[in-house]
Structure 1
Amino acid sequence: MKIFSIIFLLFLTSCAFETPAEFSEKALNESLISIQNETIVFNEIIKKYQGKKVLINIWASWCADCIRSLPEMKKFQKANPSVIFLNISVDENPLAWKIGIERFQILGEHYNLPKGMKNGDFVDFLNLRWIPRYIVVDENGGISLFKATKITDKAILAAIKTN
């Protein structure tokens, strides 16, 4: 019984640490809303920034940890001006999302996942259970860093600096 338990535990932990190198087709085809209220597919957003490093910040205006991380995010942005900062909100209320951007003066590009944090192919792909969540996308649209939950995580800077 102990051996079975150990094998089962190893199986669970190995699944939990999956780190894909690219976005799934379903995630790439997820529709987001731009700050101008236009629908855009995630793949189009990623293609728009091809040739540049992109730091994706998954956040929400109601998320206390997201708001607390913003001063460090602003320092990170200032120290890394060549990086594209792509903020994707999981707010289900578009007005709250837009007020949050203005109120907290969040810099970068802004999009919204109107289905929220628990529904949709993009959040399913990310296995999103906690925000903020940071993802680094390389110049070719591949995933350099799949999961960080603190902007101060040294893995973010390492992924940004990697060629």
Structure 2
Amino acid sequence: MKKIIPLLLLVIALGYSIFQLTEKKQEEKKVSKNDSYIASIQKMGVQVGQQAPDIELMTLDQKKVKLSSYKGKKVILNYWATWCPPCQDEIPVLEKFYQKNKSDIVILGVADFIGEKKDLNFVNNFVKKNNMHYQILLDEKGDNFRKYGVISIPTTFFINPNGEVIYKQIGPLTEKQLNQFLK
């Protein structure tokens, strides 16, 4: 009996090690699949190095604005929606960055107005509730989401003063990424 206990402990330890190794490999597969998904959608739509297509959007006070009117400035073009949890998570990061750097950059938050059921009051209330002071624009028909090839939100394009896309981020932005844009 005394000889069986150490052997039993060894078998349990070996079984646990195999279980841990299997779990780690499954987790790596999940991460790899997620990375593959992001890499595949990264290749869709407007790409780094291309000129940013000009788009015309509606402001919250129902005026038309063209992206080309910001030529000569650094622009962060952020596609988002009120119903999107990752978008909601990045709002404070964008707002903090905007408040700190508003003389050096323009942030254009392009809301998915179709997904908002075209309720301007709802979007206005959301913007006020979340203390969003950067420019919020509405994609009235979804044309601009399509023009940029946005299929996952948030998606953000960093555009240099010459109108060229210099960085594309699918998923929430970090403070570090935003600060890199200023350099």
TM-score (normalizing by structure 1): 0.70
Q: Percent identity?
A: 18
Task: Identify the residue that residue 7 of structure 1 maps to in structure 2.
Answer: none
Counterpart code for 1:95: N
Match of 2:77 among 41, 56, 60: 56
Q: If each structure's helix is expressed as a fraction of its own residues, which one has the higher value?
A: 2
Task: Identify the residue that residue 62 of structure 2 maps to in structure 1.
Answer: 37
Greater shift after overlay, 75-84 or 49-58? 75-84
Cα separation, partners in 2 of 1:16 and 1:85, compared to 1, 3 Å: closer
TM-score (normalizing by structure 2): 0.64
Asked whether the equivalents of residues 148 and 156 of structure 1 are also in contact (C-alpha less than 8 Å), the reply is: no
Match of 2:88 among 34, 57, 67: 67
Greater shift after overlay, 31-40 or 101-110? 31-40
Cα distance between partner residues in 2 of 1:125 and 1:100: 25
Please state whether the residue corresponding to 2:68 is helix, strand or coil. helix
- Unmatched 5+ residue regions in structure 1? 1-12
Please state whether the residue corresponding to 2:124 is helix, strand or coil. helix
Task: Identify the residue that residue 98 of structure 1 maps to in structure 2.
Answer: 124
Q: CA deviation at 1:156?
A: 4.1
Q: How does 1:144-155 map to 2 (within 5 A)?
A: 144-152=166-174, 154-155=176-177
Cα distance between partner residues in 2 of 1:35 and 1:59: 15
Asked whether the equivalents of residues 136 and 160 of structure 1 are also in contact (C-alpha less than 8 Å), the reply is: no
Which of these two proteins has the greater Rg computed from alpha carbons?
2
Alignment RMSD, CA only?
Answer: 2.5
Aligned residues: 138
Asked whether the equivalents of residues 136 and 143 of structure 1 are also in contact (C-alpha less than 8 Å), the reply is: yes
Cα distance between partner residues in 1 of 2:121 and 2:73: 30
Cα separation, partners in 2 of 1:103 and 1:144, compared to 1, 3 Å: same
Asked whether the equivalents of residues 23 and 143 of structure 1 are also in contact (C-alpha less than 8 Å), the reply is: yes
Match of 1:139 among 140, 143, 161: 161
Asked whether the equivalents of residues 55 and 84 of structure 1 are also in contact (C-alpha less than 8 Å), the reply is: yes
Q: CA deviation at 1:124?
A: 2.0
Cα separation, partners in 2 of 1:148 and 1:157, compared to 1, 3 Å: farther
